[in-house]
Amino acid sequence: MRYFIILSLLFFSLSELFSQGPVPITNCPVIKINSGNPTFPFPQFLEYAAGKTLAKYNAEGVTHADMEKTMREAYEIMSHRCRYTGETFRGVPYITFNHGSVPHNFNTFVSEGDGYILIAAAMFADQPTFNGLWMWIHDNRMSKVTKYKDCQPLRPTQKTGEYIAGWDCDETTPANDGSTHSAADGDFDIAMGLLLAYRQWGEFMYHNGTLVKDACGNPISLKVAAEKAIKALVDTIPDFMDNKQFAGYMSGVIGVDGYAKSGNTWGELTMWRATQNTYPWANALPTLGGNYGSHYVDYNAPAYFKEFAHFLETEGNATPWQINQFKRAEASSDWLMGEAYKQGYIPSIGKVNSSSDGSAFTFTSFNSGEDFRCAWRTILNYVWNGNPTETWDPATHQVKAGANTFERDMALRHANILKTPTEGGNLICKKMGASPDPGQPRWMGVAQIPQSWNLNGGIMERAGSNYSVGTGAPAAVASGDLELIADMYRQSELVWDDASTESKNLTDDERYIKSTPKYFHGIFRILGLLTNSGNLHAPKDMVPSANVKVYMSVNKTYAYQDDNINYTVQYRNYGTLEATGVTVTTPLDADFEFVSANKGGVYNASNHTITWNVGKIPGFKSDQLAKTIDSVTFIVKVAKIDNPRVCLM
């Protein structure tokens, strides 16, 4: 007898989806995703301005529910590198990330990691964790600030400006020590984390529903923190010689020449400022950062710079200089990517050097732990915003009218090598693992992406880590290649290195959820998962909205003629605003005969559809997820056997 295969999407079980395993490490915070009534709760599953994602184009057999569960667990696993410090103020426990006491931190308890975890906590709307992290960063890494916990100044004699994190310092580090100077990648990510937090929770910090005030009695403002951290990247600071004579202005982390620098005391990329007439006040060179030299191009973040400019323009109470500096940095960073593209490189680049007058630029590889990041905050600008309508003039060092495709061009080139990883011009095709089974087949494709390529596409570090998989996600999305996007997501789900010393004593399941990833392996896993699934959105797009999605499940996988089949249609509002005027309509296959529908579902015989007038679906509030989810059911009968397969579209 002939029978019918029924294809459908699975839907979520709340008890299964939101269970979070025990934290294996003592002194590690318990995460609270979507706490504090965030504006943009996780997840959203929305497309970006450019490219395609799994939000709309699910990989076969991988539902939103599957992806949500994976990403929640990935963030929980990443958070195992966090530690409570033992300090608590106003009920907020201070938290560090990647402290030296955590295995495999690679001696990098630095501002770079602070930025990574701030962004992750904000994206997953984990308010208590974010609060503890930020309060520790503020009271330890920053200089020329008043500490939250005791209303005392921190390094008030620091020569560099306030609100830029020292790359490797804490509260006890003296002013002007080298470790109090900044590293630009950490600066950019910390500022982005603060801006994301402001978008999520509004102006003031709340902890478990209570407004948090500093020791001076002032409410802690996330908006003020974001504004100060962003402005500090471009503010000029007067610098004086030992004899108190004025030397010149330090230029923050964006140079007077309009290019990003590697830190606040690093030199600018060019010497343009010394001879230009556009900003005559800037001709004199400071004692700190007055030279010029190579720049870590993987620090460039045009996607961030555009967001910072937008924030300052719309609500940041900024000067024209501050706004324009970010517009210049965005344009110059995109332009440098275009120059690297013209020279035949892929976006795995360590350094860029310039002639003194800025007329010629050369790119070089640097380090397998750095270069792979060049593809991240750069191509993301195209994903978030599409191709720009302005570009960079390297002669005048100003933004000018004119569209370009710099980031998109590089994204497509990078997507090609991600899809078919090569070594020496040949496809990589080999067995997997350090000690593969002799009978194992050889593999090619995304599974062979190395930790880092050099700028020519040669392998710099073969280790099968998730670094380039994560930072390559914007390129995959930009390409619109759904097979590549799905494979990149899968690889991010599967691969990270574990640092837990107790894994050997755990069950297989505990070895997963109780894993402590090595440094980098948490953030770049999350980056790949969020980006490919449509959940890494620009701050300007994190606005209150209704976001309703509909899913379907079925009570059997095959049926015979005259059998009844029960369907459940589930809908969920992922947004924070109430959805109104909602109707749900499902077409029926021509081989199905309508039997019944619950909750007032109306069958239309003329077009063979069922429609429910749902009306309103509440928006998300913390701890009220169930109110945003409901379902309807209907029953059909298999009426014909003309076709071997029947499915709902």
Q: According to the model, what pLDDT value does residue 466 have?
A: 96
Q: How many helices (H) and strands (E) does the chain have?
A: 16, 27
The boundaries of the domain holding residue 631 are: 544-647
Of 469, 490, 511, which marks where a domain is finished? 490
Report how many domains make up the chain: 2
Find the mean pLDDT for residues 388-404.
98
Is 368 in a helix, a strand, or coil? Answer: coil
- pLDDT value of position 19: 39
Q: How far is CA 265 from CA 161, 252, 268, 294, in A?
A: 10, 8, 9, 13
Residue with tokens 């490919």: 532
Residues 553, 445 share a domain:
no
Using DSSP's 3-state secondary structure scheme, residue 13 falls into coil
Overall average pLDDT of the 242-264 stretch: 96
193: helix, strand or coil: helix
Q: What is the CATH number of the domain that holds 628?
A: 2.60.40.290
Residues 288 and 350 in one domain: yes
Residues 267 and 354 in one domain: yes
In degrees to the nearest 10, what's the CA dihedral of 100, 168, 112, 340? -130
**What are phi and psi for residue 89, nearest 5 degrees?**
-135, 130
Cis, bond preceding 539 (omega within 30 deg of 0)? no
In a domain, 26, yes or no: no
Statement to judge: residues 334 and 409 lie in one domain: yes
123 pLDDT tier (thresholds 50, 70, 90): very high
538 vs 2, which has greater pLDDT? 538
- Regarding whether 461 and 339 lie in a shared domain, the answer is yes
pTM: 0.94
Domain membership flag for residue 449: yes
The verdict on residue 470 lying in a domain is yes
SS3 content of the chain, % helix, strand, coil (to 5): 30, 20, 45
> Residue 276: is its pLDDT beyond 90?
yes
Q: Return the residue matching tokens 């004699």.
A: 157
> Tokens 């990247």, residue?
233
What's the rounded mean pLDDT across residues 207-227? 99
The pLDDT, as a whole number, for residue 558 is 87
Q: 477 and 548: one domain?
A: no
Residue 553 contacts residue 8 (beta carbons within 8 Å)? yes
Domain contains 481: yes
Which of 458, 490, 522 terminates a domain? The answer is 490
Q: What's the pLDDT band for 643 if we cut at 50, 70, 90?
A: low
Mean pLDDT computed over every residue of the chain: 93
155 in any annotated domain: no
Q: Report yes or no on 428 lying in a domain.
A: yes
> Is 486 found in the same domain as 416?
yes
Between residues 21 and 494, which one has the greater pLDDT? 494
Cα 182 to Cα 169: distance, rounded to the nearest angstrom: 10
Are the C-beta atoms of 162 and 191 separated by less than 8 Å? no
Residue 356 has a pLDDT of 79
Per the DSSP assignment, residues forming a β-bridge with 83 are: 96
Q: Write out pLDDT tens, residues 465-477.
A: 999 999 999 999 9
Please compute the mean of the pLDDT values over residues 106-128 and round it to a whole number.
98
- The residue count for the chain: 649
Same domain assignment for residues 325 and 453: yes
Of 327-336, 555-564, 578-587, the one with minimum mean pLDDT is: 555-564
Contact 36, 121 (CB under 8 A): no
Decide: 258 and 329 in contact? Cβ < 8 Å. Answer: yes
Residue 507: pLDDT over 70: yes
What mean pLDDT comes out for the span 43-63?
96
State pLDDT tens for residues 168-204. 999 999 999 999 999 999 999 999 999 999 999 999 9
Specify the amino acid at residue 264.
N
- Alpha-carbon distance values, 468 to 127, 135, 445, 450, 459 (Å): 29, 31, 13, 7, 12
Count Cβ neighbours within 10 Å for each residue of 292-310 and write b for 16 or more, e otherwise.
bebbbbbbbbbbbbbbbbb
271 with 383, same domain?
yes
Q: Other C-beta atoms within 10 Å of 316: how many?
A: 19
Cβ partners under 8 Å of residue 372, min gap 6? 298, 348, 451, 452, 453, 467, 468, 471
Q: Per-residue pLDDT for 443 more than 60? A: yes
Q: Mind spelling out the 3-state secondary structure of 223-289?
A: HHHHHHHHHHCCCCEEEECCCCCEEEEECCCECCCCCECCCCCCCECCCHHHHCCCCHHHCCCCCCC
> Per-residue pLDDT for 502 more than 60?
no
% of the chain residues with pLDDT over 90: 83
Task: Clarify whether residues 296 and 363 are in a common domain.
Answer: yes
CA distance linking residue 175 with residue 158, whole number of Å: 5
Instruction: Check whether residue 467 and residue 559 sit in a common domain.
Output: no
pLDDT computed for residue 318 by the predictor: 97
- pLDDT score of 503: 58
pLDDT over threshold 50, residue 506: yes
Q: Quote the tokens at residue 171.
A: 């509260």
Same domain, 454 and 560: no
pLDDT for residue 103 is more than 50: yes
Does a structural domain hold residue 639? yes
* H or E stretch covering 380: helix 379-385
Q: State the CB neighbour count (10 A cutoff) for residue 349.
A: 29
Q: Among residues 460, 475, 490, which one ends one of the domains?
A: 490
Q: Is the pLDDT of residue 616 over 90?
A: yes
Contacts of 612 (CB under 8 A, 6+ apart): 569, 583, 584, 585, 597, 599, 600, 601, 602, 632
Residue 405 lies in a domain: yes
* CA 156/CA 143 separation, integer angstroms: 7
